[in-house]
Structure 1
């Protein structure tokens, strides 16, 4: 009976869920504790720092959108929120219709103004926005929106029909523009569409900072458009989510979910049963033995664990980066992680026939450590390199240890820097020379589930292009990949870019990050997810049966 209940409750239909719950013994607990592998620093998961943190795992059902990322990383249309219609193919034109009854938890309606803000912040056209990525949004020519209305028409630049357009305006990307409008007492949409420089600067500043999460926050600035809303932020950074009574869709099963940033006490919390769901990078908390009352599953993510080289300091030049790559034991590091070496930079989200050949030949010299070649590349000059990662993280500590030992023979001294601040910020501020992280500098997966979107992490001017890399040929390939669905063409584009990227070495891919999901056997409807939204994509369906 228990296994039948578990299968049924993993379904998404509320009716099926309700009937199954009735058939199970016990009742749903009022509270669930959920651990994610990064800080909860911002409600805005679209900034450089916010995207690298764990907010997407926490807020997929707090800030909803026209789609969400399902269990395989695919985008699933969220018809509770609204609908998307293709009204033109060349150029691509989309109509976005927000549900008539869509309203924020503060009573303000969800409107097309929110789409305008999302586009403006991530399009790269308006200065001041510290957006993580421009992928997809950079190709939008304009957004037609009558302020306060529920419909927007989005027109793309001619010949820039983005294949994965369903990645745009999804859960966690749409923020409440009225919060900024109320603070500035301005019409945000009018200011953006008229490109009012002074107001755009103020809007960008608030978009970057007004949704930072701290204890004692002003809840009026954090309205929800989903089944849950923020109730509070605890000391230590945990965020308490409670039912949003104004949510117009199916009501969530559990009344309260506390989302905890990963800490050194995970094993203790699992042992004393004070946590229900743990969704972290495999090995980040050590072995993490599974007690009898928990179930464990492991699955590949869409993110690539990698070395991201700083644009300044000792790693600023390709010569130094290549030397460091030569003494990095990628084979040992991947073996320790229990997975193959990854070579993907522009096709990172999945392992398939297209990605298999990405730079395979050029990657050859960098498969195993060659300290002698590294020393020769540096002309015998000694060097000190600071590698940083968000800690504590047992897997990454082992990785840095392996690099330290290997590169010492090349005359390179590696300093291990455990960060308690965001990795992208530390790299940008010159506190470290190399960031060890996943796609875009993320602690978790970091992936959108779309390789075409993730590839923008190496595009000129992209926020999460943390190495500051710029190459016109690579930019051209990334742009072409975004509008091509032809596998043969994608292979050709990847083949053109790979030799350049292995020569310039802005990043060094190591292995595909694996995910560990540890779930109490009392829990139902929880599953793995390869994207940065993780297991939290359907938390409103979770239940703990007592």
Structure 2
């Protein structure tokens, strides 16, 4: 028998991660006080392969990575599926010591260890600060010659006197506002950070740290974990560029891998699970971390995550019993296919992810850098068949829940959304305007009308969207060409690689500020070289604004500027679908990333699956 239920309704969301598609308690019937059922295993499917254990770099910031990193790297808090921010006190605590200046103390709980038995401590937190604040970075350094031209991945060591952490941090947001080196406690369990200015989302600004001892050992050629940790701390406290250069180089690229690394130290974990096997483009296997003593101890000993880009192939794998859980990008064919499968539960709803097209304001592939021209940008946006995409590809799945999104900042249904749509200028793109686009393109003076669009070429829905855009834009005189790639995520932001991109931003928090790095000059999620001084000023104001009404006013102003700059167009909120076999229980998706994985420690094998 198939069970169908509706997922949680969509609410206001903020922080974003590149999407490839789309609290502790319960789930244990083993009778074992530890919760872990020895020998238990399940398999989940995801549509994009893992490629980095550092999701805080511009290269590694992707849902495909952070789903797994969420389970292997513990942190101070996480969202449940209501969604509510849960403090993870078994990992550590944070305390606001002062409002003026904003002063936060982070303390690691007793007994918290890395999977290799080394204590998690202040050295890990201090390195996290250095990377996420970039306060010690060499000023005005251009890293492009040390990055892969096609993907932006750091591929070589930085010069011996150059410090550069690729976290995309800016000095007016998050930990970027902590310009002074934090104080380390005498017991080496805490750091205290003093913000230069108040920051409204300070609780969300300090994600899971990476192991400082591993980075110190690899970057500084040391063998002893304690010596390596001490060396990292000294390098930071002394602002020693000669030591920080290799440390930052390793932080940028040392945790990037597309198959199981030969060096087991690179998968050192602090979370409930650790990576134990990884076959390129096929699967990652996670096993319960024996050193994990936190509140979120898992029931399942082994979780394998298979990479299945084709949604129909994921359904087939579920039907065949090859996987137990899928959360594919929803299509009409997926809905039909799932209806034919017995012995599963299907949960549907609206996700906190939205589809959009962004235009490259600079360094595009076009010989005339076509979208540096505002008339060309406006012309192209007028050709994008938003309603046709919604009607053709989304309504057959979601029905009346199909949502055309018309704001860059507000989620449909959230406070401020309706007012934004009335005032931001998005109504100019409610319908295709081919004649208007032709006139604007003629006025632009552009002679090279080629527009190469980057998208996931192995994603059927994106292939269909590309075709609809290509056909529509051709009527106005644009020559839309195919920059689709299975490695699209790593290509985002790469100079000269494409002219426009088609993908989804997935929300990871409810923070008011955390979508702002998409639009701020030089910030981590700014993949299209967009820059507007007025937008940057509004970002700076939002970062320190605690009044909810004023936050909305500032966002309304910013949304209008973005549409007025012809930044790009939003298209639709994702319809979500999760399906799982009767062999497993405890699956209860969240609208926020990491969606199905948020409570993986609660998953359990049912009696019917044993």
Whether these two folds match at TM > 0.5 is yes
Output one character per residue of 1:337-375: Cα deviation in whole Å (capped at 9) or x when no partner.
232221222345x74122332253311111111111111
* 1:168 aligns to 2:202 (yes or no): no
1:303 aligns with 2:353: yes
> Helix, strand or coil for the counterpart of 1:61?
helix
Q: What pairs up with 1:104-503 in 2 under 5 angstroms?
A: 104-125=114-135, 126-127=137-138, 128-131=164-167, 134=170, 135-142=173-180, 143-146=182-185, 149-158=188-197, 161-170=198-207, 173-183=208-218, 184=220, 185=222, 187-217=231-261, 218-250=263-295, 251-264=297-310, 265-283=313-331, 286-287=334-335, 289-290=337-338, 291-310=341-360, 311-313=362-364, 314-335=370-391, 336-338=393-395, 339-348=402-411, 351-361=413-423, 362-379=425-442, 381=447, 383-439=449-505, 445-503=506-564
Q: Report the CA distance shift for 1:154/1:377 in structure 2 as closer, same or farther (over 3 A).
A: same
Which moved further from structure 2: 464-473 or 449-458?
449-458
Measured in 2, the distance between the counterparts of 1:17 and 1:34 equals 17
| Residue 49 (structure 2) pairs with residue 39 (structure 1) | yes
1:295-332 per-position Cα deviation (integer Å, ceiling 9, x unaligned): 12223232321112222232233322211101111222
SS at match of 1:489: helix
SS of 1:438's equivalent?
strand
Cα pair 2:315 2:326 within 8 Å, conserved: no
SS in 2 for 1:259: strand
Unaligned runs of at least 5 residues, structure 2: 4-22, 139-163, 223-227, 365-369, 396-401
Q: Name the CA shift for 1:322/1:87 in 2 (closer, same or farther; >3 Å).
A: same
Deviation at 1:88, TM superposition (A): 0.6
TM-aligned CA distance change 1:147 to 1:461, over 3 Å: farther
Deviation per CA, 1:147-186, whole angstroms, max 9, x where unpaired? 981111121113xx2222221334xx31111111111146
The answer for the alignment partner of 1:442 in structure 2 is none
* Aligned-pair CA distance for 1:78: 0.6
Residues in 2 aligned to 1:373 and 1:28: alpha-carbon distance in whole angstroms: 65
SS at structure 2 position matched to 1:540 = helix
Alignment TM-score, normalising by the size of structure 2: 0.80
TM-score (structure 1 length as normaliser): 0.89
Quick one: distance in 1 between partners of 2:523 and 2:462? 26
- Cα deviation for residue 507 of structure 1 reads 3.0
Does the CA contact (< 8 Å) of 1:230 and 1:242 recur in 2?
yes
Report the CA distance between 1:282 and its aligned residue: 2.5
- In 1, the alpha carbon distance for the partners of 2:235 and 2:414 equals 44
Q: Tell me the distance in 2 between the aligned counterparts of 1:285 and 1:155.
A: 53
Contact 1:28 1:543 in 2 (8 A): no
Offset at 1:267?
Answer: 2.7
Change (3 A) 1:74 1:455: farther
Deviation at 1:87, TM superposition (A): 1.1
Q: Which residue of 1 aligns with 2:10?
A: none
Structure 1 partner of 2:90: 80
Query: Residues 499, 74 of structure 1: CA spacing in aligned structure 2 closer, same or farther, 3 A cutoff?
Result: same
Give 3-state SS (helix, strand or coil) of 2:442's partner. coil
Contact in 1 for aligned 2:121/2:188 (Cα 8 Å): yes
Structure 1: how far apart are the matches of 2:403 and 2:130? 39
Residue 603 of structure 2, aligned match among 538, 542, 545? 542
CA distance in 2, matches of 1:346, 1:242: 38
Match of 1:8 in 2: none
Where 2:105 maps in the other structure, the secondary structure is strand
Compare 405-414 and 110-119 and name the one that shifted more: 110-119
- Judge which range, 226-235 or 475-484, deviates more: 475-484
User: Bigger CA drift: 256-265 or 352-361?
Assistant: 352-361
1:60-93, Cα deviation, whole Å (9 max, x unpaired): 1210100112113432111110111111112211
Distance in 1 (CA, whole Å) between partners of 2:233 and 2:574 is 39
Q: 1:49 aligns with which of 59, 62, 74?
A: 59
Give 1:427 deviation, angstroms.
Answer: 4.2
The 1-side partners of 2:551 and 2:100 are apart by: 21
How many aligned residue pairs are there?
522
What do the CA deviations read for 1:99-140 (whole angstroms, capped 9, x no partner)?
A: 110000011111122222222222243252222555512222
- Secondary structure, in 3 states, of the residue corresponding to 1:239? strand
* Cross-structure match for 2:19: none
Cα distance in 2 between the residues matched to 1:285 and 1:461: 40
Farther off after superposition, 248-257 or 279-288 = 279-288
Write the distance in 2 (CA, Å) between the matches of 1:357 and 1:188. Answer: 50
| Offset, 1:474 | 0.7
1:214-254 residue CA offsets vs partner (Å, 9 max, x unmatched): 32402112211111111121132421101111111253111
Change (3 A) 1:147 1:431: farther
Instruction: Say whether the 8 Å CA contact 2:122–2:188 is kept in structure 1.
Output: yes
Rounded to whole Å, the distance in 1 between the matches of 2:134 and 2:108 is: 25
Shift of 1:524: 1.2
